[in-house]
Structure 1
Amino acid sequence: MRLPYNFNKHVTLVNISAPLEWFKMYKESGFMLHGPYFCRAGQKKVIKERKAHGLKYGFYGLEYSYNKEAGLMISFISSTTEVKPCMSSIMEAVMPHINAARVKLDVLELIHGCLRVCSVDNFYTLLTGAD
C-alpha cells in the first residue's frame, strides 16, 4: 500500500482522520512523525490515540489542500484562541519563499499541551524541503 500525502523528501503530511494503519506504516517506514500532520481542534481523543502509537509530536497542527485554482492552502489549527508571537516570525520566514506556489497561510489557533513547537528554521525546512 502506497503511503499517502507525500509532500516532500523531508516530511509527510497525514490526515488525522486517516485509518490508524496508515500511521503505523509511517512509523514503521521511518518517516518524520514529529513533522506536521493534519490536526483539527477538538479531536483530543484522536490525538491521544495517535500518541499511543508513537505519534507524540507535531508542531502546531497543520492542514493543507491543493487545487489548480487556489494553489496550496495551508492552515494552522489549534484548540486555543491565543496566537503566539513566534507565528509572525514563522510567516515572515516562510512566505517570501513560497509565494510562487500561491500559498495562503491562515493563522487560526495554536495547539497547546500535546504538540511540540517547531523552530522557524525547522518549519521552513518541513515546508520547502530545503537542506
Structure 2
Amino acid sequence: MVHYNNTPTVVVVLVPLRGGLLMIRRALLGEGQGKLALPGGYQMLGQTWQEAGAQEVLEETGVVIAPETLRAVTVETTPDRQQNLLFCKSIPVRHVGPFVHDAEVSEVLVIHEPVETAFPLHTRVVREFFVRPGIF
C-alpha cells in the first residue's frame, strides 16, 4: 500500500466586524501561544474549505458566518512547506453580545489597525486587509 504524506490545508478567515477585523489570542501550547492570530483551522475530510472556515470561526469566536459568503483571497505555503494556508474573507458581519470561544483560544477581539501576529503570513495578510481594503 502506498502512503502519501500530503500537505494539509488550513483555512484562515478574515472577518470584517464592527469596523475592524476579528482576531483571536491563541491558548494552545507551542508556537504562537498567547499571541494574536486570525481564526482558522484544518479542513477536514468531507468538508468544503468554506464549511471548514465557517466552523472554525464559530468554534473560536462564537461568530456565525455563512460558508457561501466566503471568498478566497490568497493561498500561501508556509516557509517550512508543511501546510497550505487558504486565506479567505467573509462579508462584513454583525455580532451582538459577548464572544465565546473554545479551549484553543484565550481571547477574542476586534482590531482596527495592523498588528504583529503569531505567524508572519497572518501578519502580512492582516496588514494588506487594512492597507488595501478594496482588494482584501
TM-score by shorter chain over 0.5:
no
Q: Which has the larger share of strand? A: 2
The two structures have a TM-score, normalised by structure 1, of 0.26
Looking at both structures, which has the greater relative contact order when contacts are Cα pairs under 8 Å and sequence separation is at least 6? 2
TM-score (norm 2): 0.26
